Copies of this chain bind each other. A is one copy, B any other.
Amino acid sequence: MLNVLEMMNIIGIISFTISGTSKGVKKELDLFGTIVLGIATSYAGGIVADLLVGVIPPTILRQWQLLLLSISVSITTFFYYKQLNRKFLALVLKVSDAIGLATFAAYGADLAYSHGFSLVTVAMISSIVASGGGVLRDILVNDIPLILTKEIYATAALGGGIVYYLVASISNQGYATLITIFTVVTIRIFAIKYNLHLPVIKAEVGNR
């Protein structure tokens, strides 16, 4: 039977594969390119997580099931993409990205917590692991990563890591995982919905 960590990993992989594939189609990559982008987006978090806590080789590189899963999801997304209209697609990209962020925040927090790390370490690893996939996806296609342009992105994952640690300390890791995912998704939806604006310094400086 799957444990919570494995389930988070699977949901995260599906979400980020959809997100990576959607981005690839938008950038007019061919089928191979979109599959590679889907895999890269969905694998980055797990690989970084394991390197940071010292699991060598990273778990995700040992399971052919996850590779098959990512490839299948990517191909399916690729061929369905055409039939969807733009507005719905933008929604798919946002939602899959938010769920990927939330599940990998929980995954990273769960892994770090299980290794006995402190609150700060758990929160930092949670944030890095959750952001990793999206950052790699955007860098690979030459976009400035969401993490820099979107309101409360890495911060949502950092918050998720803190919530995880606190809940896990007073309750158990199963509850902590669920509440973390709920928290991160809620923060992201709230941020997107109200399109939270933060100050931008425009200036005499700008045009260089």
Residues of A within 8 A of B (CB): 24-33, 36-37, 51-54, 56-58, 61-64, 67, 78-79, 81-82, 84-86, 89-90, 112, 115, 117-121, 124-125, 128, 135, 139-145, 147-149, 151-155, 197-206, 208
Contact = CB atoms under 8 A, between A and B. Distances in A.
A52 B63 contact: no
Number of copies: 3
Given A24-B148, A51-B52, 6 more contacts: A26-B206, A32-B155, A52-B58, A61-B125, A78-B199, A139-B139
Given A62-B120, A64-B120, A85 B204 contact: yes
A125 B58 CA distance: 10
Given A56-B54, A62-B118, A142 B140 contact: no
A140 B151 contact: no
A198 B145 contact: no
A102 B53 CA distance: 28
Contacts of A118: 62
A56 B206 CA distance: 40
